[in-house]
Amino acid sequence: MILAAVLQFVTQTERRMSRQLQQQISFKALDGVVEVKSKFEAEYRRFAFKRNCPGGFQEFYTLLQTIHRIPEVDMLLGYADDHGDLLPINNDDNFNKAISSANPLLRIIITRKEDEPVGFGTNSLQRHKKGLGLTGLRNAGSLSSHSKSKIGLMIGRPQNFRQISSIIDVDILPETHRRVRLHKHGTHKPLGFYIRDGASMRVTPYGVEKVPGVYISRLVRGGLAESTGLLGVNDEILEVNGIDVTGKSLDQVTDMMVANSHNLIVTVKPANQRNNVMHRGSKNTGNSGSFGSNGSTGSALSHDSTGPASQSTPITASNSIVEGDSDEENDDDDDDDDDDDDGDLILESDCLMFYQNHNNMNFTSERLGNTPVVRNLQQSVSMPEYMAANLRAHQNGHQSQTA
Amino acid sequence: MMKFRFRRQGTDPQREKIKQELFAFNKTVEHGFPHQPSALAYDPELQLMAIGTKAGAVKVYGAPGVEFTGLHQDTTAVIQIHFLPGQGRLLSLLDDNTIHLWELTTTAPRQVGGVKRDGGVILQEVGSYSLPGRPGIESCSTTRVTVLLLLRSCDLLCIGTEGGGVFFLDLLNLTLNDSQTLLQDQVTQSLPEDYRCGKSLGPVESLQEHPRQAGKMLIGYSRGLVVLWDLSSRQTDQLFLGKQQLESLVWESSGNLFVSSHSDGGYSVWAVADGSSNTQQPVSSTIPYGPFPCKAINKILWRTTETGSPVLLYSGGMPRASYGDRHCLTIQQDKDHVTLDFTSRVIDFFTVHNVEQHKEFDDPSALVVLLEEELVVIDLQTPGWPSMPTPYLAPLHSSAITCSCHITSVPPKLWERLVSAGKAQQGHEHTSRSWPICGGKNLAPPPKQQELLLTGHEDGTVRFWDASGIALTPLYKLSTANVFHTDCDPCDEPRDPSDDPDMQQEEEWPPFKKVGCFDPYSDDPRLGIQKISLCKYSNKLLVAGTAGQVIVLGLSDECSDHTVDVSVVDLLQDREGFTWKGHDRLEPRLKPAPFPPGFQPQVLVQCMPPASVTAVALHAEWNLIAFGTSHGFGLFDYHRRNAVLARCTLHPNDSLAMEGPLSRVKSLKKSLRQSFRRIRKSRVSGKKRTITTPTSKVQEANAALAEHEEMAPIQRRIEPRSADDSLSGVVRCLCFADTFLRDGTHHGPTLWAGTNSGSVYAYALEVPGVGSGRGAERGVAGETAPCVEAVLGKEIQLMHRAPVVSISVLDGRAKPLPDPYEASQDLSIAPDMSNPHSVLIASEEQLKVFSLPKVSAKTKFKLTAHEGCRVRKVALVSFSSTAQEDYNEYTLVCLTNMGDMHLFNIPGLRPQVRYDCIRKEDISGIASCVFTRNGQGFYLISPSEYERFSLSAKVFTEPLCSVTLERLSRPTLASDGMTAPPQANGTHKNQTGQAEGRAEETPSSLSSPLSDTPLDSPLSCADVTLESTGELTVEDVRDFLTTVDEEENNLKNIQEEEGRPAGILIN
């Protein structure tokens, strides 16, 4: 189910991008005004601004808040693209994309953040059709040749996707290398690979030398590594999360990988060099530099398919952006921070608050609310293990939402 | 202040300079007994003793504190050492048949960390010589050196060889004096025909110079022939036609007699008479332990005394069948006959006696015996020949070390009481005579403060060592075995049996007397000490062991007969489905037992199940102890004698936790110890006690696991840690802190516990009379007698689930909280309670600072993710600057599994410096490392030796000593460019480092250790908005000054002691 959805999502993205190229040409002819029709709950506002000076997302956000007179409300922005898909606006890039797709009307749908999340993506507007009064936007016979049979399939917001792997930094790595990102969080699949010591041939000024290297020795059937098809047995591991492993022992590399296992980025030199990512040149980038973690645009290839498909066809880089590298790393850091800081589960016992207001109990304390105040040994507070497990499960779920 | 912010690592020259003033890595001195000693020598004029080891080290000892170490370039065993008396030179013979000349030389002062250190005297190799093989015969054993004799004139070295030849080496220029070479053929010619009988005389076994007549020497051959050879005339003066295979020779000081010892366990006295050329029979011949076959007497000494009969000392000679496996040395004088029975092999021995020529008698004052595992000194002038305590070379491993703990700046009162308790312990069994080896002068300034090193041992003892100076001296020994009923009589403390009446009354032949304290055998492995914590202000000691026993002891100067209160705390807490399959708990003694002055047990808490204690914390001010095992942790009020809390940390799926004691780390440590023990057992033959330990099951499991993975031998699985990893419930650290857990305005006692699976539990404690008096607010306390309460406040699950190595709370100025009593008794600067506190949690993979009371991450450093190493030991250390007298910084020191030290500032957690310290293969070394609070540390380099190191540029303890030499002009070496050893930097540690096979230390640069990592690596994780070390302003430090400027020394102590929550450093 998810698998199919992803496939569809990918094709959809590709399709949109090809569209976009066409549009860009046509936009030139239009006058420089974007008409905006925004909807918040039952209210509509219409306004316009100049296309060539749209400002940033944040400006637009506050503008909407002012126009709708909802300065205190946290909102999610979505716009209807020309297929009738409801797509999110949450950063400068997709804002610009939205502007460029305005023809000249830009439909904005505002939802409260705390409301039930909107399902962005294909067909999403159909669900909201009535409320939006948009009919016929969705063209079932769209240009895509694949998606016909999948009509009716819901695709959640990009946040709801679990991106489980991607090839990143295609543009800055040598063609013989591949940088693969495996996202462990949220899945119950094991990472599923083993590494070993080995000898690597390196070309040095003194000729070819044998140096110790670390290799993937085994993929576990059904594991994350195998299912992505991006890693293979006997691939040499060159870097772990950007850190060169040359000179590091097998145990060190193991420790590094385990320590990074929630967001593992391995740079490998694949044993099988036939499936290498091809550089397609760097000019056809209509897109921005945001890729990787938020996954809203298809600059990184997402895989959740089982191996053979991706292995048999050469993987092509749909994108290559030079400044993406540093951004990417920064994103990484942020991601890591988020992961970890959210990740450390902190439980507060209600018992501590017996002299405080009981109103601000969080959900944990609600669960533990009946636990009596502890006076002695026998009654000492300890959370039953199943509760902890529940909490952890909850935590995991939460994480998969935010990651 | 702003200028310190937003600065990238390693770019600030000012910070670099401060770092240089704070940090410097040196291995300074080795404490304990050299591992595998192989040679012994003594210089009676300078009163220096030298010990050579199998690793090729030569260590010279004099008065306590006088120590020199040299290391041969090859790690070849040192077979013999000979001093050039009075010259401060010595010759060493190595196993590879090379002879090396060493010299004590003065070094120039040097710069360390911007401070000039005085140059001391160091031991340097100045030349080497290797006896050439016979022309045409390469590497023939005939020229293998068997014995060396240095003539009194000190210019000629006589070299006895396997082939029976004696060569003469001119020491001035290390050249062979070919004309004097005495080959065996020459000797054989002068032999009577019937003695010659076509056989070789065998290797030269002994060379002894005539005590009165220079130029005459005895040459003893293996076959039994002894020749009195006149060097000047190159003729045999006399032949002694011994028939027994010769082992050693010794002159009587008059030169009229000499004694030979033989392989049949006998010795013979021969008379030297002028004129008679051939002597067939000795004056007397004795086999002291006959008539049944005896083992050889390896070495014999004959010392004359003014009072009467000579003292005869010899090693070996035991009846082969009944006592062939004993390691014995016999002292015999007239009718007094004692067979010293050692627990390890006798390497060599010498006597300290008169060497002045005009004195008629030797009058030996002391016998020094080098054993494989210890040094024993016997007072020969006191009747009964008691043994003498050694001020250094203490056998740390007399029972295997299981844990250690260091106490900085011990209050003088506690020190005195410990010293007197220690004296009372050994007073009756040791002589009061002063240490006989007292050469050299210790120039090191007296220690500014007393430092205590506590070692826990496998036999349930805790030993207190004076670690203030160069020599690690035993102060006091505490045995915990008498708290329990053990197999043997519980009163039977392992004590030096020399005065044991049973032993002496034994009507036994030979008259054995057990000497020495090396006793590797534990009566009961459950007695082993696992954790120690000492409160130096209240003199409370907390000791915890392998069978879940936790003992609280108090210091008392009087003997006491009392019962120890026993409590049992069930840590499983009714958790279903677990059955402990390990050892039973120790059976406590219920009757009153006598406890000698010193630390006396007051309360015994036994954890159930009786798994090994893995963490302890002591807060004497609150009368609380906390202890953790692999199953959970408990809190006990030892004042009211009641358990406050027990919390099970077991994961339901964890079955391995019930298998037996110890975590995986511990079992590795344990198995290492067992392998050490195996080695010892094989060496110390004889006693064939089998040691059954309950770890065997775990080991079996491990073995099975290893087998399982053997299909792909070196494969590592890459998987994140899961919640149900085994042994996840092991409590790794505990700490008490007075901090803000409930809210930002009320602080109070808290208890923190961290587990193997990355869980941290924080409890708010209600201690009557402590904290913000909340009990009164609630109006609950009035009803019942006040007692301590614990309320779970926070539970933190680290995302990465790595074991929590340490937890410590930082005050508002980001300094560690002071120890108990320090704040309340004004012994330290009060912690800052006005600004928010934070808690530093170090896991094996990450270091992280969280704010309090709302636990949110402030800064972190992901060590494993970046470096691929795991945190093993962590300590918060106060570093003083060499440049500014009153500037100091708290730094987090991490020892990793790679054996390197990473230093981080707090709370920024930015890497400061990295040093290679321990070989990464040296797991027991890494596991044994213990830090002091002022930037020093110790780790075991062998079962018997602690290496002392310093990370501080200011605080270090290294030998600084001088020796007055009456040396001739330095011999000019015409030799082959044999140069001084590579490092002449005075810290002999580097050299010995190589001896131990450790990787050579590369000089660590002070630049940022991470500066060479690529920019895009996610290293810049420290939160830049946090206070960096730059925030530790001069104003802060001045504050310190104004508070305590009367006593500068105190200031320093206090700063060093300030605010380390108990338990962080405790091993």
Query: What pLDDT band is residue B60 in, cutting at 50, 70 and 90?
Result: very high
Instruction: Write the residue in A254, A333, A380 that is nearest to B645 by C-beta.
Output: A380
Instruction: Write the residue in A257, A325, A392 that is nearest to B723 by C-beta.
Output: A392
Is A184 touching B (CB cutoff 8 A)? yes
How open is the CA angle B700-B705-B711, to the nearest 5 degrees? 135
Q: What average pLDDT does the segment A304-314 reach?
A: 36
Query: What pLDDT band is residue A362 in, cutting at 50, 70 and 90?
Result: very low
Cβ count near A283 (within 10 Å): 7
How far is Cα B252 from Cα B269, in angstroms, rounded to an integer?
A: 10
Name the least confident of B146-155, B671-680, B862-871.
B671-680
Query: What pLDDT band is residue A240 in, cutting at 50, 70 and 90?
Result: very high
Instruction: Write the residue in B644, B645, B799 that is nearest to A344 by C-beta.
Output: B799
Asked if residue B997 lies in contact with residue B75, where contact means CB atoms within 8 angstroms, the answer is yes
Asked if residue B340 lies in contact with residue B349, where contact means CB atoms within 8 angstroms, the answer is no
Which one of B567, B718, B801 would you mutate to disrupt binding with A, by most A Cβ within 10 Å of its Cβ? B718
Alpha helices in A128-272 (DSSP H): 129-132, 224-228, 250-259
- A256: nearest Cα among B897, B919, B874, B922: B897
Q: What average pLDDT does the segment B155-167 reach?
A: 89
Class of residue B655 by CB neighbours under 10 A (exposed 0-12, middle 13-18, buried 19+) = middle
Provide the token pair at B807. Answer: 């937890």
Provide the token pair at B42. Answer: 């003594």
Asked if residue B533 lies in contact with residue B1062, where contact means CB atoms within 8 angstroms, the answer is yes
Query: What pLDDT band is residue A377 in, cutting at 50, 70 and 90?
Result: very low
Higher-confidence position of A2 and A181: A181
Which amino acid is present at A54?
Answer: P
- B101: nearest Cα among B155, B48, B153, B61: B155
HSE-up of B951 (CA within 13 Å, CB side)? 33
Q: What average pLDDT does the segment A192-217 reach?
A: 86
Average pLDDT of chain B, as a whole number: 79
Q: What average pLDDT does the segment A142-152 reach?
A: 44
Instruction: Write the residue in B716, B778, B797 that is nearest to A355 by C-beta.
Output: B778
pLDDT for the residue B359: 76
Q: What average pLDDT does the segment A353-364 reach?
A: 39
Chain A to chain B, count of Cβ pairs less than 8 Å apart?
A: 188
* Dihedral angle computed from the Cα positions of residues B274, B280, B283 and B289, in that order, rounded to the nearest 10 degrees: 140
HSE-up of A348 (CA within 13 Å, CB side)? 18
Q: What is the pLDDT of residues B764-776, one digit of tens each?
A: 999 887 755 444 4
Give the closest-approach CA distance of B862 to chain A in angstroms. 8
**Does residue A306 surpass a pLDDT of 50?**
no
Provide the token pair at B619. Answer: 């807060």
Q: What is the pLDDT of residues A9-51, one digit of tens each?
A: 444 444 454 444 444 444 444 567 888 888 888 888 888 887 7
Chain B residues with CB under 8 Å of A219 CB are none
Alpha helices in B124-174 (DSSP H): none
CB contact under 8 A, B798 and A250: no
Average pLDDT of chain A, as a whole number: 63
Cβ count near A144 (within 10 Å): 17
Helix (H), strand (E), coil (C) string for B912-949:
EEEEECCCCCCHHHHHCCEECCCCEEEEEEECCEEEEE
Q: What is the largest CA-CA distance in chain B?
A: 111
DSSP letter (8 states) at residue A47 = E
> Cβ neighbours of residue A234 under 8 Å, at least 6 residues apart?
A215, A216, A217, A271
Three-state secondary-structure class, residue B581: coil
Q: What is the pLDDT of residues B650-675, one digit of tens each?
A: 877 665 655 554 444 444 555 556 55
Is A323 touching B (CB cutoff 8 A)? no
Alpha helices in B434-555 (DSSP H): 501-505
Instruction: Write the residue in A195, A250, A347 that is nearest to B795 by C-beta.
Output: A347
Three-state secondary-structure class, residue A139: coil
pLDDT for the residue B452: 94
Class of residue B610 by CB neighbours under 10 A (exposed 0-12, middle 13-18, buried 19+) = buried
Residue with tokens 């003292």: B311
Cis ω for the linkage preceding B510 (within 30 of 0): yes
Chain A residues with CB under 8 Å of B717 CB are 193-194, 254
Name the least confident of B135-144, B381-390, B873-882.
B135-144
- B888: nearest Cα among B815, B837, B835, B827: B815
> Cβ neighbours of residue B261 under 8 Å, at least 6 residues apart?
B246, B247, B248, B249, B267, B296, B297, B298, B299, B300, B314, B317
Higher-confidence position of B858 and A157: B858
- B186: nearest Cα among B172, B176, B196: B196
- Percent of chain B exceeding pLDDT 70 equals 77
Is B492 touching A (CB cutoff 8 A)? no
In chain B, residues 753-782 whose CB comes closer than 8 Å to chain A: 764, 774, 777-778
Provide the token pair at A343. Answer: 């990740």
The backbone torsions φ and ψ at residue B707, rounded to the nearest 5 degrees and listed phi first, read: -60, -40
> What is the sign, positive or negative, of the torsion defined by CA atoms of A20, A24, A30, A34?
positive
Chain A residues with CB under 8 Å of B643 CB are 377
Is B644 touching A (CB cutoff 8 A)? yes
Q: What is the CA radius of gyration of chain A?
A: 25
The B911-916 sheet, strands edge to edge:
B871-880, B888-896, B900-905, B911-916
Alpha helices in B826-903 (DSSP H): 863-867
